[in-house]
Amino acid sequence: MAQQLHFLMIPLMSQSHIIPLTDFAKSLARRGALVSIVTTPLNAKRYNSTLASSPLTHLIPLHFPCREAGLPDGCENLDALNSLDLARQFFHACRLLKSPLHDLIRRLHPAPNCIISTNAISWTQDLADSFRIPRYVFETVSCFTLHCSKKISQLVDSVASDSDIFPVPKIPHRVQFSRNQLPRIPTKDSDSFTDPDPAPPRGTLVNTFQKLEPWYLNACREERGSLWSVGPVSLSNREASERLSRGNEASIDEHYCLTWLDSMERDSVVYACFGSLCTLSIEQIIEIGLGLEESGSPFIWIIRKQERSSGKVEEWLAAEGFEERVRGKGVVVRGWAPQVMILSHPSVGGFLTHCGWNSTLEGVAVGVPMIAWPMFAEQFYNEKLVVDVLGIGVRIGVESCADKQGLVRRERVRSAVVKLMGERGVRERAEGLARAATDAYEDGGSSFLNVTLFIEDVVRAHAEMAVNVLDTD
């Protein structure tokens, strides 16, 4: 029956949403389903190679209304914004896609059996309702985050100050936050980037797996009803070519990267990357570089294009002679790196990360312990999960979101790297979770079975809606 189904996927135009939804599309296509993913012309160029191995999955580009929303041309992905101050205009542009999407769905053949959209674009529920097809929300955060954020929202107003520490109530682990560590919570008098759900979706898909966060997954299922854990979806990239092309064109030569990694001892390399949206000051970039160097561990360090745009990073690298000084011991990558390919290599033994959920779960899936350096959004939740609940990482030690963080000096970077690389218990726990992740995703595992249950629910929903149409007529 899955071979007759057509899944329409609508992600928020952001790497953190497009990448996992594209990975999940491969899982569905391997069951024989047709999958269409709505994107934009520039994003289509980035992701065409990602889907080369999946002939039943294709991209449908739509014009992205940059100018109409007050954005510069070419801002078709959140990571293309010069500043996150433009995020409100970006989300407005996303909402302007509603009418073109309606026309697109009307023309699609075969007609889609359901819509799967990521959690930030709940207005797609209106589209699903208008075509009498079910909508499923794909959550791009963990169940730990979903459950704890709900608990915190009920008590945060009673906290006296932004820096006061409070525990999350009624959970089985001791987890503490301050308001400084929480995502900005819109008030009733302020505009939110996203819209509240006009109606609840039929079900929820989460990029996680049962043994990673069993208590929190079960708690979310009790709260939401139909909820399926279907991850880690990064494991859908089985071939080396898929891991290389995933997300964007790499800014480093694959052969050079793998040859360099092959020359290093097992579990010796630190991979440092802060995602597609975190922008660091030149002062902070310098401290990271010097801290990695002083740690004594070999490293691969990713510097985003936006961080190099002023020229100050290149000036420092040249003036310091940094790359020449660390030659043979460190690699600096300017731009996009094939993260899953690098993390999967046996020589990589540590991951200095901003704790975005995709990156966190990619580290979990291959058994690489983490140095947690959260900066914004739900990243402090992921830090707590990694360090306090799972015990597979250490903290860099920041206590507030990026706009309030002070400079993290090289000594703290060095100390965190040295600590992580010497923690055998942390590494053993990370490796155990990687085995559990693989077991969950393989045929017969919990995530594999959940994908089956999800497909069966789409079939059931389609049959129910067909009956309702006949009764109405």
CA distance 89 to 42: 18
CA distance 189 to 168: 26
Per-residue pLDDT for 191 more than 50?
Answer: no
pLDDT tens track for 271-285: 999 988 888 999 999
Of 84, 92, 88, 140, the closest CA to residue 378 belongs to: 140
CATH number for the domain formed by residue range(s) 250-435? 3.40.50.2000
- How would CATH label the architecture of 2-62+97-186+197-230+442-472? 3-Layer(aba) Sandwich (3.40)
pLDDT tens track for 194-210: 555 457 999 999 999 99
CA distance 244 to 202: 35
pLDDT tens track for 325-345: 999 999 999 888 889 999 999
Average pLDDT over residues 396-423: 93
Q: Going by DSSP bridges, is the β-strand pair 176-177/166-167 parallel, antiparallel, or unpaired?
A: antiparallel
Lowest-confidence range among 174-178, 187-191, 416-420? 187-191
Query: What residues contact 422, with CB distance under 8 A and at least 6 apart?
Result: none
Q: According to DSSP H, which parts of 246-378 are helical?
A: 254-262, 282-295, 305-308, 312-320, 322-325, 339-343, 357-366
User: What's the confidence (pLDDT) of residue 154?
Assistant: 86
Q: What are phi and psi of 299, to 5 degrees?
A: -150, 155
* CA 317 from centre of chain: 30
User: What's the confidence (pLDDT) of residue 25?
Assistant: 96
DSSP result, 23-84: HHHHHHHTTT-EEEEEE-HHHHHHHTGGGTT-TTEEEEE----TGGGT--TT--SGGG-S-G
Of 291, 392, 409, the closest CA to residue 350 belongs to: 392
pLDDT tens track for 284-319: 999 999 999 999 999 999 998 777 667 899 999 999
Q: What does the angle CA 96 – CA 102 – CA 105 come to, to the nearest 5 degrees? A: 135
Most confident segment among 76-80, 83-87, 156-160, 305-309: 76-80
Alpha-carbon dihedral sign for residues 139, 140, 144, 149: negative
pLDDT tens track for 244-280: 656 555 667 788 899 999 999 999 999 999 988 888 9
Per-residue pLDDT for 187 more than 50?
Answer: no
Q: What is the largest CA-CA distance in the chain?
A: 76
User: What's the confidence (pLDDT) of residue 336?
Assistant: 81
CA distance 120 to 100: 18
Topology alike, domains 2-62+97-186+197-230+442-472 and 250-435: yes
Instruction: Judge contact between 168 and 407, C-beta under 8 A.
Output: no
Per-residue pLDDT for 186 more than 50?
Answer: no
| Domain-wise residue ranges, the chain | 2-62+97-186+197-230+442-472, 250-435
User: What's the confidence (pLDDT) of residue 449?
Assistant: 98
CA distance 135 to 19: 19
CA distance 320 to 104: 53
pLDDT tens track for 437-456: 999 999 999 999 999 999 99
